[in-house]
Structure 1
Amino acid sequence: MNAHDRPLRVALLGCGVVGTEVARRLTRDADELAQRVGAPLELVGIAVRNLDTPRDLDVPAELFTDDAAALVRRGDLDIVVEVVGGIEPAGDLIRAALEHGASVVTANKALLADQGADLFEAADKAQRDLSFEAAIAGAIPIVRPLRESLAGDRIRRVLGIVNGTTNYILDQMTTLGQTFDEALAEAQRLGYAEADPTADVEGHDAAAKAALLAGLAFHTHLTLDDVHCEGITSVTADAVQSAAEMGSVVKLLAICEQIDTPDGPAVGARVHPAMVPLSHPLASVRGAYNAVFVESEAAGELMFYGPGAGGAPTASAVLGDIVSAARNRASDVFGPGETSHADVRLLPIGSAHTQYHLVIEVDDRAGVLAIIAQEFARFGVSIKTLRQEGLGSDARLIIVTHEAEDASLAATVEILRGLEVVRDVSSVMRVEGGS
């Protein structure tokens, strides 16, 4: 038997929705996967928390173990697939797998955003692959395009809808006029949202993915703490209606960009709700789907679109990584790891530039517009459009700015809220993807 005929031994950590689908595909499609890899793939172990849990999976019972630590330290594994999630013990299990000679495939964005530098260093030291296509946008291929296909290009900006739960909620609010609470309840009923949706609706899930996207695009390591994060819990029906009136929709965006500053290039990553013009491709991303929009110097504008979660879509990305890692193991090579050679400084959120949409509740009397405009001018924020709605106690100004610095806009809003003629600044939302 030559090296290419030797079965490549695969162990699976976790057997939930995604893990079950991966195990099913490994066994059901064994012959086809062997043809694609050039060697058979043999599932030799599945680590689970509870051996007594019933599972809809036709594999030998002896493959299951509740000792994940012993499984990854066997020393005869070629690939370990981690789909247990969480920070620990997943981090220690991945490090142990690499140290004992296995390449690793993971879907764990939170772990990579927290410990990515350490894990990639361990993979490089072990000369093994650490692959994570499923960690960012489910079935959508984005890691390999950024890491390999666009390796000769210069990425300027990445905008992503990378959380299906929040996109579904905002889409329901837009198309059906539901409140946030109504849309969230429907998302939970359909299984798009967890019983505790905090990680999704507060933006933490998208922020972890933004850290990974920024690292891939700009070759510098970011952690979750480096990403400015705002969720969608404060998005109101009025804000969604205001977006519609200006030909836009509200989306939760992960935005990664590299900007030239007087002190050299800087990288920023942020997650927040934004109004997106209907003319932008991201505006058409509906329901629980995801999309990543890439702006590059040579290739121009590219969009990657598809299902961002679910057992089968995520398993598709995991299987792709398994095939790639298996090919490398069969050839005794390993692929590209993390590229953090640029080591570019971080751009604070206050230095980011974008447009803004504001709703300002004001007194309905002469001179108010001049007072408001003066404060915008004082902080160098240029007004693009302004209109007044309502009369008397319902009077309000709807303002859209030209592109402005985030810190300048924040300072303007703080002053506005203290003015005698302003009852409230009831909404401030960024506008992205426009001209």
Structure 2
Amino acid sequence: MSWTSAALRTAAQAGDYGRVIQLARRDARLSQKEMGEACGVSQSAISRLEKKGVGGTYDAKTLARAASHLQIPPHLVGLADHAAALAANADIGGSVERRNFFGGVAAVAVAPVVASFPAASAEYTASDGGSAATLRMVTGGYRRLDGTTPSRQLVKPVLEHLQLTQALTQSVEEHDQRNRLAAVGSEVASLAGWLSWDMGDYGSARTWYGSAIKSARRAGNPLLAAYQLGSLAQFEAHAGNASEGMLLVRAARKALGERPPAIAEAWLTSIEALCHAAAGDGPETDVSLKEAARLAGRMVGESTPWPWVFTFNESKVAATRVACGAKLGRADWITSAQDSVAAVLSSGHDKQRALLILDVASGHLASGRIDGAFALATGALETGVKYRSGRIVERARSLRRSYSPRLLPRVVREFDDRLYEIFL
């Protein structure tokens, strides 16, 4: 669904959020009954939602579930303020308030879209309304919090959620339900790996990504297994382990079979580019990036299949080119891709944006624009401190290590002073 279509924009601007839901549902080729099952409500509830019209009183919980399932940007259904209010509560001190906050988020989050990959939609949709659907809702809530919440606050409830999911999986005797729960366990373990990576705990990250791969295979879903293999490959590429990352990319492609979804192939090709960059191979990196961009261009108008929570498009490929350019010292790549990463830079995921800004700062540094480089790096570093992100802070330190002149400009001395104060 194109979120820039005239009909959808008109409905959103008028406040007819039910019409926005209806347009997106029809584009996804879902009936009201199927939509209701996926969101845990009745067909009539979806019908009433779509008929609210301009000025209608919308139930935020149902609206959020429908919008999240259809991957509609929250502001198009008037949920930006609601999400901001929830996020504000994350800073409230005390365990009771924090538990209430996490519970509230879980209540309005829903599963990732299950659409265009038949095996996934047939077996792992949340439409059964059982334990797997409920657990996946909670996982989606935690995943969406990642962009604006310190990983150290999230990791404990996520690991408790993983423990519960694994316990329920072991207690179930029915084969299909056990597979569904194993698939949810894979998603939660992958999220735990991502949070550990953000905290700079590489050992735990590898452990949880490995657990995610095993659970995906236990669930018998090749798309999920490929996604988790690709996630670990991405981690290894960023960690500098090029050969290990490339082996994992090949394993992911093997798991996908002969006709993978376009998003899977585009994403894996971009990770392949990161692996080439980690190995210092500029020409092969460029070949993979161009192929990833070509594949991403084919996905215009396509829905995002589960387990991809977020879209992967040409803007994300451009962001990968920036990251590869930073690894290879190719300032020209970073400069040429900057305009194309505007969507990523304006996203609500503060930590991802900070990492991308540090890559852009590397391009400035390579071009001799020292003041601009460290001005950008300082802003990104403050984001790392705010969210206690070991990954961001270490990336900032890496940028600083790459610059060693005889005389330090003032902006660099100030950056050093700030770095010395940081103990995560």
After TM superposition, is the score higher than 0.5? no
Aligning the two structures, in what range does the TM-score lie when normalised by the shorter sequence?
under 0.3
Structure with greater Cα Rg: 1
**TM-score normalised by L of structure 2:** 0.22
Higher relative contact order (CA 8 A, sep 6+): 1
